[in-house]
Every structure is written in C-alpha cells, then in structure tokens.
A and B are shown apart, each in its own frame.
Chain A
Amino acid sequence: MRLQRTLLLLVACAAGAPAALVVGLLARGHAQLDSASVAAAAGALAVAAALSALVARSITRPIAECVRGALEIARGRFGREVPVRARNELGDLALGFNHMSRELARYDAENRRLIHDLEAGYLDTLRSLASAIDAKDPYTRGHSERVAELAAEIGRELGLPRETVAALVYGGILHDIGKIGVPDAILAKRAALTPEERALVEVHPGTGAEIVAGVEFLRGAVPAIRGHHERWDGDGYPDRLRGEEIPLVARIVNAADTWDACTTNRPYQAALAEGDALPLLAELRGTQIDPAVHDALVAVLRRRAAAARAPSAA
C-alpha cells in the first residue's frame, strides 16, 4: 500500500503537473479563458489522475500478491501460489515464484517421506530386537509390542506431544531389553525367586537403559526403560524414586506393562479376564501406579472395549 501511494503521487505529478502549468500560463497570458479550454484542462487533469491510479494499481497489486505469497512460504506454508496477471516482468516474477513454491512443497514432502521411512526402519529394527527378548521368555511373546501400543495410547489420552508419544513407543518396545543379561532359567522359573535371583532380575532396567543410552534417536526412551519398575509410593527399583520424581514416560510404561502382565499368562499366574484385572488395577492406583496415568489407562481400555463391541461403527 505504501508503494501504491508513492507511485500514485509520482505518476500524478508527472502527468498532472504539465497540464496544471499550461493552465497557469494560459490564465496569465490571456485573462479571459473560454470555457472550452478550462474544460479541456480539467479533462486532462482527470484523465491524468485516473491513469495514474491505474498504473499504480497494476504495478502494486501483483507485487503485493507476491509479497503475501513469500510471507506464507516464510511461515512454512509451501506450495502457495499467486495469480499470474500479465505477460511482462511482473508476470514472470509470479511464474517464477509459483514454480519455486511448488518445488519447495515437493522437497518438503520428499523430506517428510524420508524421515517417515527412516523412523519406520528404526522401528522395525527395534521390534526384531525386542522380539529376541520376548523369545527368551515364552510367556511374554508379543508383550513388548502390546506395551508400546498401550503406552502410546495412554500418552495420547493425556495429550502429550508427538515426540513424547514416540518415546513411549520406543520405551515400550525396549523396556525389558535389559533382560538380555538375565539367565533364561530365572525368567521362566515358576517358583518364588531367591534373593540372589531377584537381584539379578532387578538389574534389568539399568542394563536396558545403558544398552540404549548411546543411541541419540532413542534418548527420550532411556528414562522410560530405567524407570519402568519404579512405584508411585517409592517402593520400586532400581532408584526407589517416588511420585513425580519418576519420569512420566516411565510411569506410563509401568502402567501399560502391569496391565499386559495381568491379562496374559505368566509363569507365576494365569491370565486374568479384563473384568477381574480392572479392580486389581484400581488397587494399584496411588500405590504402584500414578493416579492420573491409571485414569488415562482406564479411559483407553473403555474406548477399546467400546470399539470391540461395535466394530462396524469404528
């Protein structure tokens, strides 16, 4: 708009000034101006003003449109295009601009696709790693995968950001990776563990966190792995953290892990039906499990049950 004002002023001066000068000279030289020449002068001034406005507008409008398009791209909205109004340099500007915008959108989409593929590839690698752990223990087949899925759903239920939900998926898949260091005989043992055996089992969160700590892309999952056996009341392991001292991702993986353990067969207990597991879960609310996480888990389970009852509606 500033450009339009400046142009309007410039062109109006350039076109109008000579006309005004002529009128001035005429008025001074011949005292009596006939009405015809006054009308002609006024007409010339009016035409000059109208043409100036037209010129100012025809130059300013395409430029303003390009400015708007450039600002939209600057704020990350690739692919915005501007109208091409004329076959001149201004039209060329718009054409070049549109091409650039489309190319940016293409690069952006390509980039996103590559990142997505990369993450999916990582995830596949993690899954096969985790299934190696699940395979050590016949009772936990598919456990890691289910914990990851449930933990991510709880995270979304709590409105956590995308990166935290990703950390929950990775942390869920890898939470028991440290069991790689625990002898198979202990993992499969039906009888109560001796104190020595228990000590061997209880190092697995720390071992797991150490295994994963060197991988930059799994950084967010490390606290989830290390803390997944901490308890809300402070009675867990390995760091005996209490309440909010326990990282939220660890509290969530703990709840998901507990739920999956209750509802699948274990060496020490048969699977509970969901109806029997829910009261058990309620008992753990505020002792083992963060109350807020418990409530989110229950909401997720309700939604799953509703979806299972009405599969056609899903």
Chain B
Amino acid sequence: MSTTNQVRDDVTIRFAGDSGDGMQLTGSLFTNTTALLGNDLRTLPEFPAEIRAPQGTVPGVSSFQLKFGSHEVLTPGDECDALVVMNSAALKANLGLLKKGGTIIANTAGFDKKNLNLAKYPDGVNPLEDGSLSEYELIQIDVVKLVKEALADMNLGYKDEERSKNMFVLGLLYWMYDRPMDSTIDFLNQKFGKKSPEIAEANIKVLKAGYFYGETAEIFSSRVTVKQADLKPGTYRNITGNEALVLGLVAAARKSNLPMFLGTYPITPASDVLHGLAAQKKFGITTFQAEDEIAAVSSAIGASFGGSIGVTSSSGPGIALKGEAIGLAVMLELPLVVLNIQRAGPSTGMPTKTEQADLMQAVYGRNGESPLVVLAPKSPADCFNMGFEAVRIALEHMIPVMLLSDGYIANGSEPWKFPQTADLKDIKVAFEGPRKAEDAEPFLPYLRDHRLVRRWAIPGTEGIEHRVGGLEKEDGTGNVSYDPDNHQKMTNIRRDKRDNVADNIPEQVIDQGGTSGDVLVLGWGGTYGTIRTVVHQLRKEGMDVSHAHLQYINPFPKNLEKLLKSFDQVVVPEINDGQLVRLIRSEFMIPAKPVNKVKGRPFGVSELKQAIREVVGETVASES
C-alpha cells in the first residue's frame, strides 16, 4: 500500500483516553505545534470533574478536541475527522462525535477483556472485531507493545513506559498531519531535562517511534497537509481564555500603575486565574487564597478601600456566596472586579462543563437595587481585552464590574495576535488629595462629578478621614441616612452612575452582515465563534441575516436599541434557558426569539444553524 498526499482546508481531531492517559497534554502539545505552523485553530478540552475517576470507565474518559485549518477557524468542530482512543471506554464515549468515514486510531491494549468489561460492553463483544466499525477507517495499534520495544534498551519501569504511550500517539499524528516534532522535543527537554533526563529521553524516543511507525508501517492510505491560514500579518502566540484573562489583569495593573490584590478561593474552572496571577508577583500583584468566597471578596474590598485594584474570581457557586459583599461594594462605590468563570449549574452542577446561565445572577442577583457593570469576553483571546476593560471601568467609575467568562472559552485556546504594551491605553487614576486644617471646605466622600463618580479617598491621606459603610448614605456627606427621599435619590444615583458607563464603552458593531435586514442573531460571551460560523454559512445560503455580539451587557451600548429595531427578527442563542433574551425583551419591548441549549457543551455549528432556521421559519409561517 502506498500513501498519497492530501491537502485539506481544515481537520478536526479528537484525543480520548482515560483521565490518567495524558490526553490533555497530548492535545495541547499538538495544538502548540499546529499554532506554530500558522494554522488557525480552536480547542475544546473536556475532562471529568474527578481527578481520577474509576480507571477504564466511561465517566473517567478525558478528551481534547482540536480543529485547525488554512482558513478562519472559530469553533473546535462539531464532528471530528480522526478519533484517537486509548481504551474501549474512550471509543464508547466518543464514537458519536466521529464523522462517517472518519479515522479511528485505537490502542488495542485498551480493548482487552478487562477494559471492555469496565467500559460495559456486553460479554464477548469487542467493537474492534465485530465489524460494527465498518463505516470508519479503523487503525489498530498495540501501542503498549511498540512503546516497550522502543524503550527496550533503556532500563525503565513498567510505570514510566506506560506513561509515555501518549507520546507514541502524538508522534504518529505528527506524521499523519505532516507536523514537525521540534517544539514538543523542546518542551520535553525543558520539562524533564534537568530533573530526570532519562524520562525526557524516553519520551522523545517514543515520540519519534510513533512518527517513524507512521512512515514505515504503511497503515494510512493518505497523509494530510493543512496549509498556513490566511491570518492577519503579525506575531502570534497560542492562548487559553484564563491565561488571557490573567494577562489582561496584569496589563491593566501596569497601565493604571496600581498594585492589584486578588482575593479568591479555588473552584473549577476559575482556579487557573489564581495560579496565573500568583506567578506574577513581580508586577506588584498580591494573591490571597482566603478561607471561603465571602472572605475572598471581602479582602478584595478591603484592598480596594486602601487604593489597590481589588479583584475576586470564582464560578457560580462562589459568586452566590459573594453576593452580599458585592452589594457592599455597590454601596461603598469602590472599584471591584468580580470574575465569574461560569460552569453548568445550579448548585454544584457539572463543574467541568460549560454554561452561560449566570447572566441574571450577575445583573440582578443581589438584595436590593444593586446596579453594577456586566461584561463578557467572546473568545479565549478576547478575555485579555475584557479583563483589561473590567479593571478600566471599575477604576474610572468607582463601581463593581462583573466579568462573565465560561468554561468553554476559559479552557479553550486560539492563536492570539498579542498587543504591545505601548499600544494599550493608560488608565488614569487620581486619589483625593490631602487637606490642611485651615482649608475651609470639609471633605465630602460622596460628592460626585458630572458622571456621578465619587473620589477615591484612601487611608493615609491627611485631613480626609471619613467613614463608609453598608448603611444607606446621605448624598454628599456619606453620613448614615434613613430619609425616604434620600434613599430614592441614592437609588437613582447608583443606577444612573452605572448607566453613565455607556458613555465610556464602544458602540455595538455588526460583526457580519448589514446594519438592517430580516434577521439579527444577537449573541454574548463564548458563543461568538459558533454564531459567526453559522451566520457566515446562512448568508452563503442566501439568508438575509446579520450577527452582533455583546461584550458590554450592563449597561447595553447606547446604539443597541436602534440596531435591534432595524431588523424584522432578533434571534438570541444562549447556553442557558433564555436569559439575555429576557433582558432584551424587557429592556426594548421587542419579541426577541430564544435558541437555547443546556447540555454542558457549546452549540455545534449544524445544530445551531438548524435551530436558527427553525425559529426564523416559524415566525414567517405564523405571520402568513
């Protein structure tokens, strides 16, 4: 059999194995190599909530999907072209995601009797042997045996051999998709080189063995090449949403020249923000792992009172605990950045699965009238921009800002044309200055400027000693007040102050399509890539449809109403049971239509396309 060379526009591959098989690492190494080759790409890591779910079982399967192409790639792909399965459970859990005719690369050692049992295949059934996979290209490899052979001259234990089998598969895929091994070899040398050089050597050996196996074993009918994508010129790196968020925060600290204080408590999928910031102390960043989320946000408020950028990060359950303290920050009118990396709820829900169901919680989820700013990044790299924006708005408006990321963009990655420090805007901050006793005017902590923003008056400043607190304030003096008219006034002020932020954010743009027409698809947050891809296809297919994506949700951009009302229909797809759609309906009194999904997974392109067609069609039908 001879191999032919194929050139393809894009490819989707999925690595799946037991959570101990190192699939996340394999996926990210493949991703880095692919990014360095200049393909556009998106990734979707999916793993169980348990650190080590029972080995060999379906709940213990960990997967990493990656789509890369020579054109714009905005989703990790609905279905994959190639599926790597390290054991029978991985096949069982993922076969549904493989295209008909796609390639399965199966590690046969993972299909012995024990593994088949653990994956709950009926007695005597082995999918590799019973012809049930005849619609696919099935490639069976005894990875364990080949790894053993490759390492025969090294004196390694069974465990170390076992651990390097993912490198074999990675090498094999590098050959299949025509990618170089250097960046992975560099990585292995860096990671293990110093501490245990023989582990580095073993892994590199196995990686190469996989590559050469592809070359010599002639098991593939074709080798696939995906050319460089036509990305905007510039220097790129690969980045996940949580990494980008960390960088956005550090950049904002630098650009405002303020220390940053993160008070937080570990929770999936937000912990990487803590890990990331904890490593950046040299930028003047302090991280405090508090005893719980209430202490976390409270400590951030304390830091903010002292003149630092107070930041707190969590996911839904933790945000629920922070509610009372966020209300305090609203009352104190101090800057505070609250990061919510959303996950599937309610309660503990599905910690490692994505969802966008905390929007109402962000906008309304506190006691009393408690207005704050809500932002949402639209992609992994956009977490940088919106993290920066969250700090900027909090500081410039002395107001809490909630940023809604989600597990999908937090862990997913994409190529990022990173900015230069010099291109980032400065954030101007000025503390209230000192006063001498002879100054006639007493300091009034709740005096405001034309935007209704009060001054940041920090301890250590002579002559402006003052008290703040959660009790209702008298406008101006900040003294405790139970006066009915004052409460009405302050309620209005806090609302108007939030609304004034609309003067300090960009107008809403149309991402694709005309500024008026039949249908506008309005999205927010992590659904951006999918909606963009779907709208692109729908337009090609002749639908008069545009796409707008909200990054600023509370307040809405000033031109949003006009924009929405320029379309006959507005469709709002969300990974929740209909939250933005409710805000849009109530704010603008238009019959916006929901498209919803709550399965812990992002929309697929074809599923969303069909859903939008249905929603739009239905209305047309009922009108006629």
Q: Is B a genuine binding partner of A?
A: no
Please give the residue numbers on chain B whose beta carbons come within 8 Å of chain A beta carbons, in ascending order. Answer: none
Which residues of A are at the interface with B, using a C-beta cutoff of 8 A? none
